[in-house]
């Protein structure tokens, strides 16, 4: 039975959703054949209940490494810790979340372990002895299936690709592993973290109103914000507004940026470049508001409103307000 190591990174002191998603990925990869799933829990200190949570979501064995050097953004420290866990666990496959640290960690780990490497996987399954990993390529215009024959394999998983497994009673065994991380020996060190005015819960929001170049400036995003607020949703953007500085970078949705799966996605003044579409293709209902009736976004949208968003968006807000008050 293959052994799958999931890197549960809790560098900010909390166990996030991504670790549980990786356990979902491990389960998909194990398939009917089964696998022994191990979690490496990396955190600056012991976190109450974290190992237990991992156990309930499918980790049969949790190896926790707690060290003050394992703090936000600290890839060099995380790399040392995961290497140590790999030596202890000897996994066939390592799953890493493709987040800020994971994107640096996965290739470096693969290099050090002479492992096969696949990044940003969205689907995983076994096909005989090969792991099949599917991922977006060409800015989301195509899907590639990669066959991985070498072991160990390090695979980074794109956020929101897997659901967390349903929790069960059976908690796995837990052990602590001491790893000597010499802070002075790290080559790259995070010396400052400025949490941006991140649009609260963009990734969790069930309704997202998003603006593109067609919004024209920071001013226009206020109209989007009013609508989002009324619907209890969040505001996002495609790449141009983030590049232009109209909105914070953390609002950006797409290949570069966040991947979201809301119930409703309203794209305002967004042309629909493949790069952006890659981040929203999981949305259930997509509405596009654009002046150009030939904009590629309409080929993805369920409902299209051709016209000036400066008139359409306030009309929508007014109509919804009217409904709320009745």
Partner 1 sequence: MEIVVCLKQVVDPELPSQEFAIDPASRRQVRAGKALVISTYDENALEVALQLKDAGAASAVTALTVAPAAEAKDAVRLALAMGADKAVVVDDPRAALLLGAEKAALLAAALRRIGSFDLVLTGCESADWVERVLAPLLAEALDASCVTFVSRVEAGTGRVTARRLADDGVHTVEARLPAVVSVTSDEGNRPRLPKIRDIMQAGKKPVETVPVAELTDLPAALRETGVEVREVVVPQRTTTCEFLEGEPAEQAAALVQRLRALKVV
Residues 49-78 that bind partner 1 (CB under 8 A): 72-73, 75-76
Q: Which of 218, 222, 282, 285 binds partner 1 (CB under 8 A)?
A: 285
Q: How far is the CB of 299 from partner 1 (least distance, A)?
A: 6
For partner 1, the closer CB: 1 or 194: 194
Beta-sheet strands, E only, within 67-180: 93-97, 116-121, 123-127, 130-137, 142-148, 153-157, 173-176
DSSP per residue over 81-113, as a string? HHHHHHHHH--SEEEEE-SHHHHHHHHHHHHHT
For residue 30, how many other CB atoms are within 10 A of its CB?
20
- Number of residues lying near partner 1 (CB under 8 A): 94
Q: Which is nearer to partner 1, 173 or 302 (CB)?
A: 302
Residue 226 makes contact with partner 1 by CB under 8 A: no
Closest distance between partner 1 and the C-beta of residue 113, in Å?
8
**Residue 55: which residues within 8 A CB-CB, separation 6 or more?**
62, 170, 171, 172, 174
What is the x/- site pattern for partner 1, positions 170-189, by CB under 8 A? -----------------xxx
Decide whether 60 or 146 has the Cβ nearer to partner 1: 146
237 binds partner 1 (CB under 8 A): no
Q: Which of residues 121-150 bind partner 1 (CB under 8 A)?
A: 132, 136-139, 141-150
Choose, by CB under 8 A, the member of 3, 164, 250, 261 that binds partner 1. 250
Considering only residues 307-326, where is the footprint of partner 1 by CB under 8 A? 307-308, 311-312, 315-316, 318-320, 323
- 211-221: b or e for each residue (b if 16 or more CB lie within 10 Å)? bbbbbbeeebb
3-state SS assignment for residue 35 = coil
| CB 276, min distance to partner 1, A | 11
Q: 270 by DSSP, 3-state: which?
A: coil
Work out whether 198 is an interface residue with partner 1 (CB under 8 A): yes
Site for partner 1 in 85-104 (CB under 8 A): 98-100, 103-104
The verdict on 306 binding partner 1 (CB under 8 A) reads yes
**Per CB under 8 A, does 106 bind partner 1?**
yes
Nearer to partner 1, 59 or 289 (CB): 289
The alpha carbons of the chain give a radius of gyration, in whole angstroms, of: 21
Q: Which is nearest to 40 in space by CA: 31, 30, 51, 49?
A: 51
Nearer to partner 1, 18 or 53 (CB): 18
Q: Which is nearer to partner 1, 61 or 265 (CB)?
A: 265
CA distance 75 to 95: 16
* Among 79, 22, 77, 10, residue whose Cα is nearest residue 49: 10
Binders of partner 1 among residues 9 to 28 (CB under 8 A) are 12
Q: How far is the CB of 23 from partner 1 (least distance, A)?
A: 20
Give least dist CB 85 to partner 1, A.
18
For residue 247, state whether it binds partner 1 (rule: CB under 8 A): no
Q: Hey, CA dihedral for 290, 294, 299, 305, is it positive or negative?
A: positive
CB atoms near residue 208 (< 10 Å)? 29
The verdict on 305 binding partner 1 (CB under 8 A) reads yes
Residue 123 CB-density burial (10 A; 0-12 exposed, 13-18 middle, 19+ buried) = middle
Task: Report d(CA 235, CA 222) in Å as an integer.
Answer: 10
Binding partner 1 (rule: CB under 8 A), the pick from 204, 245, 282, 291 is 245
Contact status: 192 vs partner 1 (CB under 8 A)? yes
């Amino acid at each position: 039975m293959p052994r799958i190591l999931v890197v549960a990174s809790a560098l900010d002191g909390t166990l996030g959703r991504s670790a549980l998603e990786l356990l979902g990925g491990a389960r998909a990869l194990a398939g009917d054949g089964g696998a022994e799933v191990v979690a490496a829990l990396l955190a600056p200190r012991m976190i109450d209940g974290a190992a237990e949570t991992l156990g309930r979501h499918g980790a049969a064995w949790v190896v926790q490494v707690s060290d003050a050097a394992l703090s936000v953004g600290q890839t060099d420290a995380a790399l040392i810790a995961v290497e140590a866990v790999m030596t202890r666990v000897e996994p066939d496959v390592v799953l890493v979340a493709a987040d800020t640290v994971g994107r640096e960690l996965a290739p470096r780990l693969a290099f050090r372990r002479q492992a096969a490497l696949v990044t940003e996987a969205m689907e995983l399954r076994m096909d005989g002895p090969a792991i099949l990993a599917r991922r977006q390529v060409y800015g989301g215009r195509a899907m590639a299936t990669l066959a991985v024959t070498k072991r160990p394999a390090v695979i980074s998983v794109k956020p929101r690709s897997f659901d967390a497994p349903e929790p069960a009673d059976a908690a796995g065994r837990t052990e602590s592993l001491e790893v000597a991380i010499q802070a002075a020996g790290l080559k790259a060190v995070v010396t400052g973290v400025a949490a941006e005015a991140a649009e609260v819960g963009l990734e969790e929001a069930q309704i997202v109103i998003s603006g593109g170049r067609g919004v024209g400036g920071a001013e226009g995003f206020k109209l989007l914000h009013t609508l989002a607020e009324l619907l209890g949703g969040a505001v996002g953007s495609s790449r141009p507004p983030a590049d232009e500085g109209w909105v914070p970078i953390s609002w950006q949705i797409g290949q570069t940026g966040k991947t979201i799966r809301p119930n409703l996605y309203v794209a305002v003044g967004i042309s629909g470049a493949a790069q952006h579409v890659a981040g929203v293709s999981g949305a259930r209902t997509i509405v596009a508001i654009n002046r150009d009736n030939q904009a590629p976004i309409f080929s993805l949208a369920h409902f299209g409103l051709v016209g000036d968003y400066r008139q359409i968006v306030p009309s929508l807000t007014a109509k919804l307000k009217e409904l709320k008050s009745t």
